[in-house]
Structure 1
């Protein structure tokens, strides 16, 4: 039985989840807050947060229950969260490689997945920040929320419970690597479209072709031809 815990305020749900794993014996344990003070993003980035407007959510999942690679697990988690939001909003939601979630050209979810050993068990720590009710993003021009992108005020508690149930259900039935790659590329943001990239502090046009099973993104660049990149080696400007 998956558990979902709540904290009125915390620094980071990815950090605080460890305390709950010491006392609960479950394959899936969730933690959420609507007031996260020191959220972390991918590769040391920060995730800014407006109290009582957004959701910080972490799910701890025992690694022993999964046979897929870390890359496939990351991709599949992004797919599940994408599907959840597409169903919730009745919109075409995209995945910006490797695992940001985009709705109508604005980032509404950032995902950070870590691996930790706690109380002799190894876990995937799935952290996700959801912009839900925030209306202004002065410092981040490419960020939005469910409210700004749909005009709908979603209930924070109800959305969190639905998310937990959906994510746990889907993680118990992970499809094949081939299916994961097919669906990830199907919903890949800016795929097969001319986009602007920043590489080595220079800008050039390129077309995203596909992501691969090693976690790389293949881009056909205007000046340099078809190349593959890991995260942070190239930046998509949008």
Structure 2
């Protein structure tokens, strides 16, 4: 069973969806709004979104049928969101490790995945903020939208329904762990390219080589290969 619920406005879809899980026995529940006022990102970051221009969407997934580690679930989620947008826009879309979605060098999707226990059942709460129609961003921002990057406009309601159905289909058919890793690594942003990183407040050049099953990224630096966890390194682009 699955449901897709709509709120005209809410503070955070990841927070609001928890209320519906208290009274629902579906394995999948989607909740969305086009006016999220206090969106949250990974590791305490915020996610700002212009009203009636973008999508804030959360999907609660019962973990009863999820038999892969949390780190791979995060990778797989980023991959299927990337795939949906690549198919829709017919443009190259990349994943900036660990799970930002990049279209033509601009971040168009932020993803926040949380694990919650409700009524003795455990759920992944997949929150995604997708910039769809917004045209103006801070000049120094790395953010963009589908419209700014492709020039194409999409109906928000139709987009949401198609997005919801696509995620359900893919989450009901999770591939092998090796396939997940291969797909994720094949779409890594700036993989095998010389990039500038900030490490412990110092900048140095490096080349992203691959992400591993533990959730770490391996980068070839001037003094050899080294792995990092999120927030230990920042890619400057």
TM-score higher than 0.5: yes
In the TM superposition, residue 23 of structure 1 has moved relative to its aligned partner by 2.1
| Corresponding residue for residue 107 of structure 1 | 107
Q: Tell me the equivalent position of 1:159.
A: 159
Per the alignment, residue 231 of structure 1 pairs with: 230
SS of 2:23's partner is coil
1:37 aligned partner: 37
State the shift of 1:24 in Å: 2.0
Tell me which residue corresponds to 1:199: 199
The structure-2 alpha-carbon separation of the partners of 1:18 and 1:62, relative to structure 1 and needing over 3 Å to count, comes to same
After superposition, the C-alpha distances for 1:50-76 in whole angstroms (9 at most, x for unaligned) are 000110000000011100000010000
Shift in Å, 1:118: 1.1
Supply the distance in 1 between the matched residues of 2:24 and 2:140 (Cα, whole angstroms): 38
Which structure 1 segments of 5+ residues have no match?
A: none
Counterpart CA distance in 2 for 1:119 and 1:36 is 26
CA distance in 2, matches of 1:205, 1:136: 31
Does the residue aligned with 2:134 lie in a helix, a strand or coil? coil
3-state SS, counterpart of residue 5 of structure 1: strand
Please name the residue that 2:52 is paired with: 52
SS in 1 for 2:95: strand
Counterpart Cα distance in 1 of 2:19 and 2:139: 33
Determine helix, strand or coil for the equivalent of 1:64: helix
State the shift of 1:140 in Å.
Answer: 5.2
Distance in 2 separating the partners of 1:211 and 1:35: 34
Structure 2 counterpart of 1:98: 98
SS in 2 for 1:129: strand
Q: Post-superposition shift, 1:33?
A: 0.3
Superposition map of 1:145-224 within 5 A: 145-222=145-222, 224=223
Give the TM-score normalised by the residue count of structure 1. Answer: 0.98
The answer to whether structure 1 residue 120 and structure 2 residue 120 are counterparts is yes
SS at structure 2 position matched to 1:80: helix
Q: Could you say what secondary structure the match of 1:79 adopts? A: helix
Q: CA deviation at 1:19?
A: 1.2
Q: Is 1:74 paired with 2:74?
A: yes
Q: Which runs of 5+ in 2 are unaligned?
A: none
1:95-126, Cα deviation, whole Å (9 max, x unpaired): 00000000000000010000001122110000
CA distance in 2, matches of 1:122, 1:139: 41
Deviation (angstroms), 1:139: 6.0
Residue 21 of structure 1: CA displacement?
A: 1.2
Distance 1:27 1:212 in 2: 29
How has the CA–CA distance of structure 1 residues 139 and 43 changed in structure 2, closer, same or farther, with 3 Å as cutoff? farther
Q: Distance in 1 between the 2:145 and 2:176 partners?
A: 32
